[in-house]
Structures are given as structure tokens and as C-alpha cells.
Amino acid sequence: MYQLSQTYPLKRAFITGAASGLGKALALELANDGWTIGMADINMIALEAAGKEIEIAGGVPLIFPLDVSDKDQYQDIVKVFLSTTGGIDLLFNNAGVGDGGVFEEYSLENYEWMVGINQMGVLYGCHYFIPIMKQQRSGHILNTASAAAIGCAPTMAAYNMTKAAVLAISETLYGELMDHGIRVSCILPTYFKTNVIQFARGGDIVKKATQRFIEKSGLEADTVAKEILTRAGKNELYIILPKDARKMWFFKRLAPTWFRKKVKEQFLMAMSRVQRSKT
């Protein structure tokens, strides 16, 4: 049993992006401990299927179709969830999309699309659930950012800035909420096996490069979910994983200019390999 399940015996969680990837993996881990889980996602077919898996695993799934960039829809769903459960213990602002492109060539519409999902979706979840957490004087917010918030590789401006924003939101709330009994964690993983690029708009080269990094990582979503839940139970603010990501964090702080150059070198090498694979 996870420490979080002992800390929050009522076991009420809400997860966005719950139909697949990390969101689904987190839900399955919590289901093993008997949690009631609000599962929200834009893909209703996949969400219904995931809900059945959660039920088989021992959880109680509450299914919600949700576009996290729609603040009114999000607010309505929060009201339904809270009226059903009476409160919330774990909030996973996990829904997100990945994409990339040269800064000025990536359309403003695409920037707005990504900000709406990756950044505003996190903001809405926090905004709507924090009041009830303050009333309870308990709860834990877990925001999924990315090691991209640290690395900021070229051609990933939209993704990088939204994930950096999630990190900033998390750090801000950590200070604001600690006196209210509310804990905050920011999840900063590198690549692992998920479908984060399923809606990518930046073109085939972006999809192929990202998929290459995902496959090379060897990390499965369930492994990542287990580490997140374990470390959140220890009240860690920065859940940076795996080990290579923690090295990035260290070197960025120790030698920031050198680090920027290394990121550029690694990016150019990776793109060269992708280009060669096309020929």
C-alpha cells in the first residue's frame, strides 16, 4: 500500500489525461489500493475502456469527458465530482500534448492550442479544487510538467514554456498552500512510453524524433507512476526522474551556459540521426 493511501484514508483522486499513458498508469496503481478515481479525458472510447480496467483492479472509476482547455466544462465536472465524493485528496493535473517546431514557423494558433491544454488546464484544475482543499485543510496537488522545463531544447518552445509554467505554478502554490495543510508536487520526467505526441501538429519530423526518444528511453508508464506515488508520499516538491533528468537539474544550476551548449549539441546529434534514418 502506498503511503498516500494511508495519509488519505477516504481515497478520492481526480486525474486528467486518465485514458492512457501516465494518467491511466497512476489510476491503476491507486485502484490497487481501492481509490475512488475521477477519470477525465477527451478520448471517451479509451476512457471507458480504462475505467473498466480500474474497476477490475479494485478502484471505483468516475468517468468524465473533459477538454481541460475548456474552463466552463472543467468547472461543471469539478462540481459533479465533489458532489459525488464530498471532497478530494489527490489532484493529478496530468493531461498534456507534445509538439515542436522552429520558433517563428510554429503558428500562433498552435502556441495558443498548447498553452490552453498544458498550461491553462493545470491552472483550471488548481483554481477549481484548491478552495475545497482549503476547507478540508488537506489534499495533495500533483502537476505533470516535464524535464523539458529544465532542458528547453531547440524547436520545442511551445512545449518548453508551458512545462516551465507548470513548474512555476507548482513552486508558487507550494509556498501559498503549505500553511493550509495542502501539499504540492511537480512531476518532471524525461521521455517514457506514452502517447503524448498523438495530436502533434509540427509535422512528421517532430513525431519521428519524439518517438525515437520515447523508444530509446526504455521507461514504461507504470514504472514512472510507481515512483511518482512513492515520492509524493514523501512530500517531495520536485519529482525529477529518471537519474539522467536529475543530472540535468544539477548541471543547469551548476553551469547554466555550458548546459545550454550541451543541450544544443545533443539536439543536433539527435536530429542528425533522425534525418539519416529517413534516407
Domain boundaries, the chain: 3-278
Which amino acids are annotated catalytic?
Answer: 159
pTM: 0.89
Q: What is the pLDDT of residues 225-242, one digit of tens each?
A: 999 999 999 999 999 998
pLDDT confidence bin for 197, thresholds 50/70/90: very low
Span 68-97, mean pLDDT?
A: 98
Span 61-69, mean pLDDT?
A: 98
The single-letter code of the amino acid at 53 is E
Measured CA to CA, the distance from residue 203 to residue 102 in angstroms comes to: 11
Question: Is pLDDT at 272 greater than 80 in this prediction?
Answer: no
Question: Is pLDDT at 245 greater than 90 in this prediction?
Answer: no
Question: Mean pLDDT over all residues of the chain?
Answer: 90
pLDDT of residue 191: 64
Question: Is pLDDT at 256 greater than 70 in this prediction?
Answer: yes
- CATH code that applies to domain 3-278: 3.40.50.720
Question: Is pLDDT at 32 greater than 90 in this prediction?
Answer: yes
